[in-house]
Structure 1
């Protein structure tokens, strides 16, 4: 599956059962919408939610936002029918919860054809099988399900997320090794801006591409945290210019702000500027 090159700073869960929320999502500054048929929909509303979501997607109006449908697990009463209905809606991707191994993705692929697949990484088994999951030919992105994972691991809450560090790291390694996008888990206290900002900064420092969100009020913080800052952009431009000047003089390294700049730093700098261009293009659509 080709690597996603577009921004994924913010991936907002929207209940597939709520027409007002589906309508509001058309105006929100999120990079991706995770249309949810799973946790956000009660058991007695799941069948109706498929039709509600299908009507919303058929109406359109979501612009350049990535449209991803999270279905119920295939071993539930709704999963298989969700998968078939989601495929008919022609989303950008289908998100499968409770992925434990590549066979789960293969079962979904048999139902939906060549639509890109995303995997919820939210069980201890998924952590141990992360490399094999990331290697699946149709997998485009991993999404951390930190609430379910914390429940299964029986962790205590810590603001630094130390109890989840091993799990987050295993999935990050697997995703990066197989060129998958990887999106961090939700922050539950949606009114706690400082806490959200700290967790977004932590996720960005670790290497996540973005953050899953449960409320529109969280969008600005996530978009800012996962965008290159003005200082980062300025440094990237100066690194590229200095290295190109050094190359023109037959040198293999340059010095910027007292630090060595080599090929690998220039590659990172170019990625930073390319991300800025991609964000600008997304905002213009």
Structure 2
């Protein structure tokens, strides 16, 4: 099993050349080089040039590099795609996706721009219509690999308040996790806006982990450590997973379909999750962060 850790994925504004460079040394699993919300209309051209330069230079090491382009409905979307499609990004992230047809249009635009056949598409789930259509969106293209929650835009459209328990977003978050798992996709939780509230960030990360998210999108480097800790399998979970795998191997050798570990009945479904946890821990260890 070959997993790519996505515990921490940090937005970096394309108009900030210093930030694009700094990302090369951060202990983060992925960086989103942003041409959309983090960039003012007057800076779109500069941001595009700087992201092209950053991708051309490379040097991001194990970090996954994703470019968030502007929506195709904007004056900048197609030009963004033509600029970055062939420069070696690990994925292209499309914002404000409402329908499966928009996913197909995004894939068509990428292919017309000469993108490699294996370049994944990521999409933002951040509008009421997009949430209601998320199952169809998640199954729209084989290129689609990851859903990213955009809870800030969603809050605006819902006229909802950000609260510690995220009551306003629970339905949307749950629907998107269901769609991701139904279609074999990864899914990242939305950002936590208060960069000075570490306890609140940790609580939000733990809630996201409990709900089934693979990691969290971040807006500041000081948030990386908390996300990495929460979304890394802890020693107890790994010990349990390894015990499950060992007991299962013994059961299989005895031609048995069940076994007991620490008083708990273990079936094949528990083995699959144990294998995933061990593979994730191995991938994280290989990155050294």
**Is the TM-score greater than 0.5?**
yes
Cα distance in structure 1, aligned partners of 2:255 and 2:145: 41
Segment of structure 1 superposing worse, 235-244 or 176-185: 235-244
2:132 to 128, 134, 155: 128
Q: Deviations over 1:66-114 (max 9, x none)?
A: 1100011111111111111121423111101100011112222122114
Distance in 1 separating the partners of 2:287 and 2:144: 23
Aligned-pair distance for 1:4? 8.0
User: Which residue number in structure 1 is paired with residue 105 of structure 2?
Assistant: 107
Which residue number in structure 1 is paired with residue 69 of structure 2? 71
- Residues 13-52 of structure 1: matches in 2 within 5 Å? 13-52=11-50
Residues paired across the two proteins, number? 282
**What are the equivalent positions in structure 2 for 1:128-277 lying under 5 Å apart?**
128-137=132-141, 138-277=143-282
Pick closer, same or farther for the CA change 1:89–1:248 going to 2, 3 Å.
closer
**1:250 to partner: Cα distance:** 4.2
Q: 2:56 aligns with which of 46, 55, 58?
A: 58
Can you list the C-alpha shifts for 1:27-55, whole angstroms capped at 9, x where unaligned? 00111110001111111110111111111
Q: Which runs of 5 or more residues in structure 1 are unaligned?
A: none
CA contact (8 A) 2:2 2:279 kept: no
Question: Where do 5+ consecutive residues of structure 2 fail to align?
Answer: 112-116
RMSD: 1.5
Rounded to whole Å, the distance in 2 between the matches of 1:132 and 1:97 is 16
Q: Does 1:118 align with 2:105?
A: no
| Partner SS for 1:89 | coil
d(CA) in 2 for partners of 1:186, 1:86: 25
